[in-house]
Structures are given as structure tokens and as C-alpha cells.
């Protein structure tokens, strides 16, 4: 059964990927420039405003406006990534502990709300419980008396 589910999952992923490729080829995205322009025009008819957005974000800033020390940003990024990777095991343990605590508190509160007391639910269960308690008690103490209801 597990292999069938894996096969179905793989077939679904391949089908989605193949469908996307087929659709884009059918629409002319991967064709020559005339086909791509026609596809873009059809996209513009569906979603007006796409031409304005692309022109807005395609303009590059002037070199005088860009005065950033890219080397320090690159180094900061590298330090951040490796610090994240170094602390990943302890972070995962902390996340696991908090998730277990959250789930256990949620299940215990849910079971407390849904479980009725033994007196209300079933007197037979109560009598079995008291019999177990008397058999587990040491011999020096007198047995517990059952309450008759």
C-alpha cells in the first residue's frame, strides 16, 4: 500500500510538471520572439497593468545612486547562514520540545473536558477500581469498603 501511495504521489508531481511545460509550450512562451510577444499581449488582456509594472521595475538605478559596500553585505550573509546552520540542532530540539508541550497540553485539556467522572459514567468501573485498590494494598491495612449506591 505504501508503494502505491508513493507511486501515486510521484505520478501527481510528474503530471503537474508535465502539464505546466505542455501549457507554456502550447501558449508560445518557449517559441520565438513573435510568439512570446503574442503570449505577453494575451497575458496583458487577462491582467491589465502588467506592462506598466514591468517597465517600472526594469529601470536600473544610476551608478551614483548605488554606493553600497557589497563585500560587507556578502560577508554578513555568509556569517548569518553558517551561524544558522551551527545553531540548527539546538533550535530544532527547542522547537520539538515546545511542540510536544503544546500537543500534550492540548490533548490533556481536551481529555479532561471530554472524560466524565467515574461516578457519573459507570458504577461497574468504580467497583473494579476499588477491588484493584484493595488487592494492591499492603496486608497491614484493612481493605477498603465499597460504597453501595
Domain ranges of the chain: 1-52, 77-107
* Run of H or E residues at 80: helix 70-114
Query: Which residues have a Cβ under 8 Å from the Cβ of 113 and sit 6 or more positions away?
Result: none
Instruction: Write out pLDDT tens, residues 89-132.
Output: 999 999 999 999 988 888 887 766 665 555 554 555 454 444 44
Query: Which residues have a Cβ under 8 Å from the Cβ of 146 and sit 6 or more positions away?
Result: 127, 130, 131
pLDDT at 144 (0 to 100) = 58
CA distance 46 to 50: 9
Instruction: Write out pLDDT tens, residues 9-41.
Output: 999 999 999 999 999 888 888 888 888 888 888
| Angle, CA 123 vertex, CA 117 and CA 126 arms, to 5° | 70
Instruction: Write out pLDDT tens, residues 128-143.
Output: 444 444 444 445 555 5
Kindly state the cell numbers that stand for 95: 522547537
This prediction's pTM: 0.33
Amino acid at each position: 500500500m505504501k508503494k502505491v501511495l508513493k507511486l501515486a504521489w510521484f505520478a501527481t508531481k510528474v503530471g503537474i510538471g508535465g502539464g505546466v511545460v505542455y501549457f507554456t509550450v502550447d501558449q508560445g512562451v518557449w517559441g520565438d520572439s513573435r510568439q512570446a510577444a503574442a503570449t505577453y499581449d494575451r497575458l496583458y488582456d487577462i491582467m491589465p497593468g502588467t506592462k506598466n509594472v514591468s517597465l517600472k521595475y526594469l529601470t536600473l538605478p544610476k551608478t551614483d545612486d548605488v554606493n553600497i559596500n557589497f563585500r560587507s553585505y556578502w560577508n554578513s550573509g555568509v556569517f548569518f547562514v553558517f551561524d544558522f546552520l551551527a545553531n540548527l540542532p539546538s533550535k530544532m530540539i527547542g522547537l520539538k520540545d515546545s511542540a510536544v508541550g503544546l500537543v500534550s497540553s492540548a490533548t490533556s485539556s481536551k481529555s479532561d473536558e471530554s472524560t466524565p467522572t467515574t461516578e457519573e459514567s459507570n458504577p461497574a468501573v468504580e467497583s473494579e477500581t476499588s477491588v484493584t485498590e484493595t488487592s494492591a494494598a499492603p496486608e497491614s491495612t484493612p481493605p477498603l469498603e465499597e460504597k453501595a449506591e
